[in-house]
Amino acid sequence: MAQLDRSHKESAKTQDVLSMNYFLHSGKYRPALFGGAIMLTVLLGIYGCSKETSKPAVAPPERTVASQPINPDPSPKASSPPTQPAIRRRRVQRRDPLATYSNPAYRISLRYPKNYVLREGNQASLTWPGSGSVLTDFIKPGAVTLAAIELPGDLYLKKNLTAAFVNLSVNSNLTDSECARFASPDPSLPGIDSPSKVKIGVLEFDEMEDLTGQAAKRSDARYYHVFRNGVCYEFALGLGMVGDGTADGKTQINNHDVFRKLETVLSTARINSVALPKSEIPPDSRSNPHPSASPSVPSTTSE
């Protein structure tokens, strides 16, 4: 009996296996089988993702990087110094050393280049080359020539210039108004201009120009008068010329350039003013028509 039950169970088991095989290999249920497998795979994936999400995130261990010294450049470049702006050097004009003429008696001084020629006393009375003496231009007698300063001859070699000088004279027999007048040329003549005021250096002068002589031998002089300390001071700037510059292969000078050199000397003139008693002020010519000549006062020179 037991054997019959075992045989019956084995037959039933065999029948279930055959039924399963038929189910698996039957084309009728094959699509359902594949669909179930796919659904099972999806459910397993969702379950796995939810399980992983529920786990706390574990931070990865920090990596400790040892700080290493930075190796300097084995061949460092030399640092160039900061560029400085170019320095503009001021050009200094070289000047000739100067000498000084001074006359304490008349409180006057002049400065001039040392290569110029200073003449004093009797030697200060100059002459125009071939034209006679250089005269003063006061309207009254009593003139005293103190000094003359001449340009050196090498400044006008091969030129038609024969003389260039500054002549200093004084006259104590003139009033202030008379000092402003000149003996020549006569301003009453046609074509002659009246004296003009001009400031050279620190002094203001009355100026008159006198151009005389023939074409072969000419002289050009400018006279400057200033009244100080009861004395009329006269500075004569003179040029002597020969011909028009074409004779003997000589070139014509530029008068303005030469006068500029002479005016540079005149610009250094200084006269120290003093208060004079009324008794020492020269009387006006209307009250003293015959003034006496002023005695000559020696001059001194210092460098």
Report yes or no on whether pTM surpasses 0.85. Answer: no
52, part of any domain? no
102, part of any domain? yes
Residues 188/191/193/194 CA torsion (nearest 10 deg): 10
Residue type, 199: K
Average pLDDT, the chain: 75
Closest CA to 112 of 263, 213, 240, 274: 263
CA angle in degrees (0–180, nearest 5) for 201-237-131: 175
Distance CA 137, CA 155 (A): 27
CATH number, domain with residue 215 = 3.40.1000.10
Q: Per this entry, what is the length of the chain?
A: 303
Identify the H or E element spanning 275. none
164, part of any domain? yes
Identify the band that residue 98 occupies on the pLDDT scale cut at 50, 70 and 90: very high
pLDDT tens profile 55-73: 555 555 555 545 555 555 5
279, part of any domain? no
Residue 191 tokens read as: 């074509």
pLDDT at 197: 95
78, part of any domain? no
Distance CA 28, CA 239 (A): 147
CB atoms within 10 A of CB 138: 22
Distance CA 188, CA 210 (A): 14
173, part of any domain? yes
pLDDT tens profile 253-290: 888 999 999 999 999 999 998 875 655 545 443 334 33
Query: Count of H helices and E strands in the chain?
Result: 4, 13
Domain interval for residue 261: 98-185+192-273
Distance CA 172, CA 232 (A): 6
CB 144 within 8 A of CB 171: yes
Number of folded domains that form the chain: 1
281, part of any domain? no
108, part of any domain? yes
Residue 136 tokens read as: 């003063």
pLDDT at 296: 40
CB 113 within 8 A of CB 99: yes
